[in-house]
Amino acid sequence: MFRPFFKPYFLIALALYLIVRMGRLGWYTPNDWVNSYLNDFLCMPIILTICLVGVRYLKRIPQFKLSPVMIFGMTAFYAFLFEFVLPNSNPIYTADWVDVIMYFLGAFFYWAYWKRVNTKLSAVTNELI
């Protein structure tokens, strides 16, 4: 159930996210692109992994998989919330279309990774049968 938390993609994404956060806290000065867009790219793989593990745990379905509709629907929700709703209601948020692209690129890489993992698992399972 909790295996996705130990996959290299998740650990690397989380480490990079924390490195960018440390830069924003003043530990170092990240370049503008990293400071502005890397966390937006990493956001969806991290959030979707947490959601996947949460559903698997709460529903007690260890083989549960997020469908592409779930993945890209959640991404559209995040993009709408963080790039339209919040910038229009709170001045600390700014709308940026590149952020939307980065959310969807992160979601695409998450989907492609899990599709590849599930294809390999299906091939191994079919060989065992």
pLDDT of 129 over the 50 cut:
no
* CB-side neighbour CA atoms (13 Å) of 99: 18
2, pLDDT greater than 90: no
Q: What is the pLDDT of residue 79?
A: 97
The secondary structure element, H or E, covering residue 27 is none
3-class secondary-structure state, position 84 = helix
Model pLDDT, residue 123: 59
Cα–Cα distance for residue pair 25/82, rounded to 1 Å: 21
Measuring CA to CA, how many Å separate 98 from each of 19, 23, 101, 114? 21, 21, 5, 24
pLDDT the model gives residue 45: 96
Condensed to tens digits (0 to 9), the pLDDT of residues 15-53 reads: 999 999 898 888 888 788 888 899 999 999 999 999 999
Q: Is the pLDDT of residue 124 over 80?
A: no
CA-closest candidate to residue 102, choices 16, 29, 27, 25: 16
| Tokens read off for 19 | 């490195």
